[in-house]
Structures are given as C-alpha cells and as structure tokens.
Structure 1
Amino acid sequence: MMLALGNIFRCQRLIQNPVRFLVRNCHKESIPVSWGTPKIGWTKLNFDGSCKGRKGNGSIGGVIRNHKAEFLLGYAESIGRTTSTIAELSALRRGLELVLENGWTDVWLEGDDKTLIDIIVCRRQVKCAELQRHVGHINLIIPELNNCIVTHIYREGNRAADKLAQIGHQLEKPRIWWHDPPNEVGRIVDEDAEGKIILRRR
C-alpha cells in the first residue's frame, strides 16, 4: 500500500512540473514585431538566405518595397551547396545589384541574421575567402548609393523575404517578379502594409 502511494505522489510531481513550466512560459514577455515602412522617396530591401539539408543546399530571396509599402520587385534563386552566412550575404548582394540596376539610391537594407548585420555595419573581419569576396563586393556597392541604412529585424518581420528564399529552393533558374508577387508572398506583403504585429516569444 505504501508503495502505491509513493507512485501516486511521484506521478503527481511529474504532472505538476510540466504545468508549472507552461505557466512560467506564459508569463514571459513577448516582443511585438512588425515590418516598418521606409521614408518618402526611399526603397526598402528585405533579404534572406536559406540553407537546409545535410548537403547544405542554399537559396536566396528578397523583396523591394517603396514608402507606400507597395511591392516593386522580388527575387529568388537556388545557389547550391553553401553555408547559412554565405546564403545571407548572397541574398544581400543580389538585392543590392538589383537596387543599382533600377536606380534606387536611398535604400534601407534589412535582414534577420544578426551576425551578417554586424559584419556589414561593424566591419567585422571574416576569415573565409568566399565570405571576404561577398563582403568586399557589398562594400563596393553601398558607397554607390546616396543614402543607405542597414538594420536587423527578427524573422517575424522578415516573412516576405523568408518566403521568397523558401521558394528559391524549388527553382531551377533565378527568378524576378515585377510589381506582382507570388500569391503566398502577396498575402504577407498586404499584412505588412497593414502593420500586422506578430508576437515573438523571448
């Protein structure tokens, strides 16, 4: 009889612990995240790189919008075997090339990889030759712009670029969308324009 009671008490503790864990998590503060509109006359490039699978198959994506939150251009591409940081740099590099090609000169660059933002903004040194090559190219493009700011945003505020990067995995050749994004991206662009807030758990 005592053994049975002991088992009951152990079971109660096992049941109570997950409940207390859930309650603690519910009380943690969430961070409200939303996409921000650029100033009048500015364009905003959100970019993202994706790397998944054992072979590290990479893809890139990005979206460029104006101060009215209107979709101007989107791009996506599969880039083969790579690392996540190189995928992020490739996404930014390709986006900047498209910015220059279209004559946009006041540009807000935004991505969700904090390490990459630190490399660009803080001029952090990188040892990998391929990383150096991408960073060098990016550092040559940025001075061509009249004005440029670079910021980090959580993934919840970078959903349109993230979705395009995911689409990139499915593509056999690079793709650019002008003024009319894929349906799944268009829905996100509309939500961003409306100021939709997504809560990020700490």
Structure 2
Amino acid sequence: MRLLVSRIFRHEILVHRPVQFVVIRNSHKVPPVQVGWEKPESGWIKLNFDGSCKCKSGRSSIGGVFRDHNAEFLLGYSEFIGKSNSTIAEIIALRRGLELVLENGWGDNSVWLEGDSKSLVDIIGKRKQLVNRCGEVQKHVTHINSIISELNNQCILTHVFREGNRAADKFAQMGYHFKNPQVWRHVPPNELLRIVHEDAEGKTFLRRR
C-alpha cells in the first residue's frame, strides 16, 4: 500500500509540473538598419510617392513630394481617388508624380523616383511580367512607362522602407480629407514642416528587419 501511494504521488507531480519550452534562436540574426530619406545629387530632382488604402472601405488616396539636391521642397501633391486597392493606389501615386514632372518642365532633369512598395518597384523598375494583373493596373503601368520614355535624362526607381518615405506617406494620408486634388509649391503645408526639416537634417530611424 505504501508503494502504491508513493507511485501515485510521483505521478501527480509529473502531471502538474509546468511544461518547459526550449526556444532555439537563430544565431544568424539580421541586424537592424538605419533608414532615412536620402538627398539626390546635384542636377537631380527626387520624387517620393505613396498610395494609401483603407482595407475595410476601400477608400484610397495618394501623395508625393519633390525635393532637390539641397533637400529644398519643390512641390507636394495629395489627392483622394475614391475606392481602390493598395496596389492601384501606389501606381496612381507614381503616375501622378510623373505627370507633374512633365507639367512643371522637369523633363530635362535627371529624376529619382522612390516609393515604399517593393512589388511596384519590381513591376516598373525590373520590368516584371504583369501575370494575373487586372486591366487597370496594366493601363497605368503602360502610361507610366510612356512618360518615363519622354524624359530626356536619367530616371531611376528605387525602393525605400516606410521610415524613409514619411513625407509622401503624410501627403497620402492628408488626401482623405480633400474633395479636390491639392498641390503645394515651394512651401510645404504646416503638417509637413517637421518631417521635411528632419529629412533635410538627415534624421534616421532604426528598423528591425
């Protein structure tokens, strides 16, 4: 009887003992990176663009900002585009920015295009095939490529993490509040003053990948 009680007691301890999990961590961690907005070189203008979409409602807006090699604000734009999706919003943001390049006579400048949508950069910059893409996406991409072909100098398209695209993101968020397209020349709106100043000063943010 004493042996039986002993076995039962040991069994209860085993059942109620907390389970210990062993976490195996990857020894090859990807180190965090410093991300910020980067000035273009002299003779270049830089367009940062962004599209925004509210997933539940589909309401979308776009925004973008042009700056020169001194980080001087040249132009900003913001616009509500109705119902859409995030991909199309990003594409329209780039398309509108390129249209403004031509409208403002900047076609003779070298133009640096930068956004935080990696998939869009791959589609436009790397000429990836538009497999299973809707006709609207193809239409916008065709128009974007036609505008780029009209530029007289170099044109590059790069991806940046969101921390380096804050000004464009802010313009895109502002777009939800406007009934008509908005454009600011030479002087940014008050909502952008701090971000534009911090970008010009070279402020960076630590991003864990």
In structure 2, C-alpha distance between the alignment counterparts of 1:28 and 1:114, rounded to whole Å: 19
Question: Could you tell me which residue of structure 2 aligns to residue 59 of structure 1?
Answer: 61
Question: Could you tell me which residue of structure 2 aligns to residue 128 of structure 1?
Answer: 134
How much has 1:34 moved relative to structure 2? 1.2
Unmatched 5+ stretches in structure 1: none
In structure 2, C-alpha distance between the alignment counterparts of 1:185 and 1:71, rounded to whole Å: 10
Question: Could you tell me which residue of structure 1 aligns to residue 43 of structure 2?
Answer: 41
- Using the aligned pairs only, state the percent identity: 59
In structure 2, C-alpha distance between the alignment counterparts of 1:171 and 1:201, rounded to whole Å: 34
Given the alignment, which residue of 137, 156, 160 partners 2:163?
156
Given the alignment, which residue of 175, 180, 200 partners 1:173?
180
Unmatched 5+ stretches in structure 2: 1-9
Aligned residues: 193
| Letter of the structure 1 residue corresponding to residue 119 of structure 2 | T
In structure 1, C-alpha distance between the alignment counterparts of 2:192 and 2:85, rounded to whole Å: 25
Question: Could you tell me which residue of structure 1 aligns to residue 147 of structure 2?
Answer: 141
In structure 2, C-alpha distance between the alignment counterparts of 1:141 and 1:159, rounded to whole Å: 25
SS of 2:177's partner is coil
SS of 2:124's partner is helix
How much has 1:123 moved relative to structure 2? 1.2
| Letter of the structure 2 residue corresponding to residue 144 of structure 1 | E
1:147-189 deviation per Cα after TM superposition (whole angstroms, max 9, x unaligned): 1011000000000000000001111111001111122212111
How much has 1:28 moved relative to structure 2? 6.3
**Bigger-Rg structure (1/2):** 2
Question: Could you tell me which residue of structure 1 aligns to residue 192 of structure 2?
Answer: 185
SS of 1:55's partner is coil
Q: CA 1:131 to 1:35, structure 2 compared with 1: closer, same or farther past 3 Å?
A: same
Given the alignment, which residue of 115, 118, 130 partners 1:111?
115
| Letter of the structure 1 residue corresponding to residue 122 of structure 2 | D
| Letter of the structure 1 residue corresponding to residue 37 of structure 2 | W
TM-score by length of 2: 0.84
Runs (4+) off by over 2 Å: none
| Letter of the structure 2 residue corresponding to residue 167 of structure 1 | M
| Letter of the structure 2 residue corresponding to residue 125 of structure 1 | Q
Q: Give RMSD over aligned pairs.
A: 2.2
The structure with the greater share of residues assigned to helix is: 1
In structure 1, C-alpha distance between the alignment counterparts of 2:168 and 2:194, rounded to whole Å: 12
TM-score by length of 1: 0.87
SS of 1:169's partner is helix
In structure 2, C-alpha distance between the alignment counterparts of 1:116 and 1:35, rounded to whole Å: 19
Question: Could you tell me which residue of structure 1 aligns to residue 83 of structure 2?
Answer: 81
| Letter of the structure 2 residue corresponding to residue 131 of structure 1 | V
SS of 2:79's partner is strand
